[in-house]
Amino acid sequence: MNRALRRKLHDEGLPDNADTYSVAVIEALSEVTSANGIVSAKELEQRSEAWRSAYKRTPHGKPVKLE
């Protein structure tokens, strides 16, 4: 997690705030799950796209639901 956060803060120049921290945590978890064979990089990308699609079609204030 520290490596992902350092990359966001220093390499990408993002601000030290909750949004940057959240993105770093997600990236670190993605790396760990892929590296340990829990889920493939392709499956992670498919799930990420499913979430992007779901939240784009979800009205503000409503729960996001995957179909």
Q: Does 15 reside within a domain?
A: yes
Per-residue confidence (pLDDT) for residue 1, from 0 to 100: 59
Q: Does 67 reside within a domain?
A: no
Q: What is the pTM of this model?
A: 0.62
Q: What is the domain range of residue 31?
A: 2-57
Domain count, the chain: 1
**Which alpha helices (H) appear in the chain, and where do they start and end?**
2-6, 18-35, 41-57
pLDDT in tens, the chain (67 residues): 577 788 888 888 888 888 888 888 888 888 889 889 999 989 989 998 999 999 999 999 999 998 7
Q: Does 32 reside within a domain?
A: yes
d(CA 34, CA 38): 6
CA-CA-CA-CA torsion sign (9, 14, 18, 21): negative
